[in-house]
Amino acid sequence: MKNIIGNIVIALGIILGIFIGGYLMLYGGIVQIVNNINPINAGQIAIGAIKVLLCEIGFYIPWSVGVVFGYAIKMD
């Protein structure tokens, strides 16, 4: 049972990391940049660029937390 729960926690961590890093930060940052180009809004363009540059962190943190906790549950 612990093995199944550990695998579920690992899978949820990976899925959450892909959602936050890939969709919210990478895709959301690109859309934010494109939407703020026509009426130039430098602040929003900069925030969108920062989102795109830091999307790896948004992926890595939930992924690593899910994997660490999942393995801890499996090994206990």
Domain spans in the chain, listed from the N-terminal domain onward: 2-75
Question: CA 34, CA 26: separation in Å to the nearest integer?
Answer: 12
Q: ∠ CA(53), CA(64), CA(8), 5° rounding?
A: 125
Residue-wise pLDDT for 55-67, tens only, equals 999 899 999 999 9
Instruction: Convert the pLDDT of each residue in 4-30 to its tens digit.
Output: 999 999 999 999 999 999 999 999 999
Give CA 60 to chain center in angstroms: 7
pTM higher than 0.85: no
